[in-house]
A = this chain, B = another copy of it.
Amino acid sequence: MEFTASQIASFIDGKIIGDENALITGVSPIESGEAGHLSFVAQDRFAHHLETSQCSVLIVTETLINKDQYNPTIIAVKDAYLSFQILMNLYQEMQGRKEGVEDGSSIHDTAVIGDRVYIGAFTYVSEKAKIGEGSQIFPQVYIGKGVKIGKNCKIDSGARIYDYCIIGDNCVIHSNTVIGGDGFGFQPTPEGFQKIPQLGNVIIEDNVEIGSNCSIDRATIGSTTIGKGTKIDNLIQIAHNVKIGANNVIAAQAGIAGSTTIGDWNQIGGQVGIVGHIKIGNQVKIQAQSGVNSSVNDKETIYGSPAISYNDYLRSYVHFRNLPELAKRINNLENNSKDHTNE
């Protein structure tokens, strides 16, 4: 797609300084601008790029402009960051949605497919599955028996959604994520471990996004649930019967063990591990790589393995780094004390 500077300015109600016919065919980060590309400058510390950028067009917060002419064409706006976001969203929408059922997909007779749905080639839709209006199911997806997918969802290539799982509206599930695999439940016997059937499902509420290569296991009985608006990064493990509330953000490679309950608006860092059967409140921040082994109250910030208060951990860690020195000082004290004793 191609746009002129004047087309772009009209989308975001900007004022052009320079060539209004300057052509844009792509977008660059400001640090590595390219001819024919668009970028933006919203902060003083990036304002020097106004002079040096190779970009053909820059969207610039108006207060940063102090000359009548620059090498790139400038589009002056109130808030360049915001305007750029609006533009990116517009661009995304222009890419369009896919629609229609491609040859080579396999859809069971009893499946119910809504209006304007896209189903890609090599996607398998099992009996009695329902796919809501406007949802896009990319190629090579597996949808099990009785699965329900809401409206306007996007399920990327290679995602697997097992029997009876339920997904709300406006959800995005990225490639190769597995929803509703068996929970890890085995009973020890003297001869070995016996599988405990995992008969529950996974329920994902509206506006949830789940990254690639995640594993969200089905409940033993009942449901593993992920609340409205929660965003989950890549390579994350959510075990059986976990209950996650609304508007959480969970970073890559975190893992949450079975039956743990998590409230709303929490921030869980990358590679965090949370044991089973505990309760995390609301607005909790868990630093990356922490190991959480007991329940956490609202608004706490924690760190470490096992995790303790963030500030306490950092304070202790300063002394940890200094332990050889502390040990030496104890030695000295002991030697002095012996001297005293020998006196």
Contact A252 B233 (CB under 8 A): no
- Give the residues in chain B near A211, CB-CB below 8 Å: 181-182, 184, 215
| Chain-B contact segment, one of A41-49, A68-76, A330-338 | A330-338
For A87, the closest partner residue in chain B by CB is B197
Contact A234 B237 (CB under 8 A): yes
- Give the residues in chain B near A120, CB-CB below 8 Å: 124
Q: How far is the CA of A322 from the CA of B324 in the complex (A)?
A: 11
| Chain-B contact segment, one of A5-13, A14-22, A185-193 | A185-193
- Give the residues in chain B near A88, CB-CB below 8 Å: 196-197, 199, 221
Q: How far is the CA of A293 from the CA of B239 in the complex (A)?
A: 27
Contact B334 A337 (CB under 8 A): no
The answer, yes or no, to whether A92 is at the interface (CB within 8 Å) is yes
Over the window 193-233 of chain A, the binary record of Cβ atoms lying under 8 Å from chain B Cβ atoms (1 yes, 0 no) is: 10111011000000101011111010101100000110101
Q: Give the Cβ gap from A334 to chain B, nearest Cβ, in Å.
A: 7
The answer, yes or no, to whether A118 is at the interface (CB within 8 Å) is no
- Give the residues in chain B near A215, CB-CB below 8 Å: 211-213, 234-235, 252
The answer, yes or no, to whether A158 is at the interface (CB within 8 Å) is yes
The answer, yes or no, to whether A255 is at the interface (CB within 8 Å) is yes
Among A156, A237, A341, find the residue whose CB has the most chain B CB atoms closer than 10 A. Answer: A237
For A154, the closest partner residue in chain B by CB is B182
What residues of chain A have their CB less than 8 Å away from a CB belonging to chain B? Answer: 27-29, 32, 39, 85, 88-89, 91-92, 102-104, 106, 120-122, 124, 138-140, 142, 156-158, 160, 162, 172, 174-176, 178, 181-182, 184, 186-187, 191-193, 195-197, 199-200, 207, 209, 211-215, 217, 219, 221-222, 228-229, 231, 233-235, 237, 239, 241, 246-247, 249, 251-253, 255, 257, 270-271, 273, 275, 288-289, 291, 293, 305-306, 308, 312, 315-317, 319-324, 326-327, 329-330, 333-334, 336-337, 340-341
